[in-house]
Amino acid sequence: MDAKILIESFADFARSKNVDRPTMIRILEDVFRAMIRKKFESDENFDVTINADKGDLEIFRIREIVDDNSEDIWDFDKISFSEARKIEPDFEIGEEVYEKIELEEFGRRAVQMARQTLIQRIKDLEKDILYNKYEEQVGEIVSAEVYQILGREILLMDAEGNELILPKGEQIPKDRFRKGDSVKAIVHRVDMMNGNPKIILSRTSPVFLERLFENEVPEVYDGLITIVKIVREPGERAKVAVESYDDRIDPVGACVGMKGSRIHAVVRELQNENIDVINFTDNLELYVTRALSPAKVSSITVNKETKRISVFLKPDQVSLAIGKGGFNIKLASKLVDYEIDVFRELNEYEEEDVDLIEFSDEIEGWIIDELKKTGLDTAKSVLTLGKEDLLRRTELEEETIDEIFRILRQEFEQ
């Protein structure tokens, strides 16, 4: 393989990858200088000129002419007077000899090694380009096509044929993709594994939901509405706190759109994930009330030292506050960054009940706390809910729940 073919093949690749000309020339020069060092031990007295457009290569060895008896005669940048005269009879001592070195003089093996080095540099450059491209897109939405579905991940291909990975843990539980499907996701991170870039996508990240809002709501994209915080239980429920600095703009209304036109597109992309858009406020009690929507809160007690909030609701509002699977209260806690405890508010006409704390000598404290997290703070609220709902809402074992029921029933039997 001659220099022209080497240079042209590399230049074609570089142009296809939008590599700038200085980088292309630098890589080519590095490869040829490596050849020079291999043969002559140093490349300091060599001039390498490359014209990538024409595939031209010129290598000149530059040496100073010294007397045949000079002690410097063995230096790499010196040539004896007698040797210089063989190149050009008119040379004199002290002049510089520019000797053109042809690629063939390096030998077939050296040229082959140069070719392999160039191929490796091409591959490394391609990896660097891919890494830098997606590193700049972290947090941005990309679209790619499914080409292989594995047990723990889905492999996708972008428009340029690059492999992207959507791990199982970054998929919405309701996602069902087939080969050839177009998938939207954000670039979650870019890892370098054994020198190869690994592009990880995500559909469960709050950032994915934020980018979808930017695509569907012009006021969010333009910065007129700010998304303060997003919390999600992917595929189930999400809460989005929004704020507008312009009093003329209703941030919630703008995000939802006329008859839900804007938010419906987002919901469909997220496999019908329920999305609550909430007006952000610095008033913590009001913020908590909005976060627990659609439940109507009767009163709130805030303990800033323990970062806990006690919320009191009428009995028919407790289940709304907790939500299906406990998602509503869990997300509300994350949104306001406080642990929220839900309590039933009894009126004077309700039958006498017993607070769960009264059973602390028979029921362990962590079990009582687990029950309170789901809004159950009295004996009758637990008994009324029933065993199946308790199993679903809490992480308690069936045997533990049976024992709780036995203790609580015994109280009322007495």
Q: What is the C-alpha separation between 324 and 317, in angstroms, rounded?
A: 13
> What angle, 0 to 180 degrees and rounded to 10, lies between the N-to-C axes of helices 315-322 and 327-336?
70
Per the CB < 8 A criterion, the answer to whether 65 and 81 are in contact is: yes
Strands 46-51 and 56-66: antiparallel
> In this structure, what DSSP letter does residue 322 have?
H
> In this structure, what DSSP letter does residue 297 have?
P
Determine the distance from the C-alpha atom of residue 197 to the mean position of all C-alpha atoms in its chain, rounded to a whole number. 13
What digits encode the pLDDT tens for the residues 287-310? 999 999 889 998 899 998 889 898
What tokens were used for 365?
């404290």
* Residue 349: pLDDT band with limits 50, 70, 90: very low
End-to-end CA distance of the chain: 99
Contacts of 108 (CB under 8 A, 6+ apart): none
Q: What is the C-alpha separation between 139 and 205, in angstroms, rounded?
A: 9
Determine the distance from the C-alpha atom of residue 327 to the mean position of all C-alpha atoms in its chain, rounded to a whole number. 24
Radius of gyration of the chain (CA): 36
Average pLDDT score over the chain: 86
Question: Which residues sit opposite 97 in a β-bridge?
Answer: 63
Distances in whole angstroms, Cα of residue 137 to Cα of each of 196, 199, 301: 17, 10, 44
Question: Is pLDDT of 236 > 70?
Answer: yes
If DSSP codes are grouped into helix, strand and coil, which group holds residue 14?
helix
* Residue 72: pLDDT band with limits 50, 70, 90: confident
Distances in whole angstroms, Cα of residue 21 to Cα of each of 17, 118, 136, 215: 11, 16, 22, 36
Domains, the chain: 3-133 (3.30.1480), 139-202 (2.40.50.140), 205-280 (3.30.300.20)
Q: Model's pTM, two decimal places?
A: 0.69
What digits encode the pLDDT tens for the residues 29-53? 888 888 888 888 888 889 988 887 7
> In this structure, what DSSP letter does residue 359 have?
G
50 residue type, one letter = I
* Residue 414: pLDDT band with limits 50, 70, 90: low
Phi–psi pair at 92, nearest 5 degrees = -125, 160
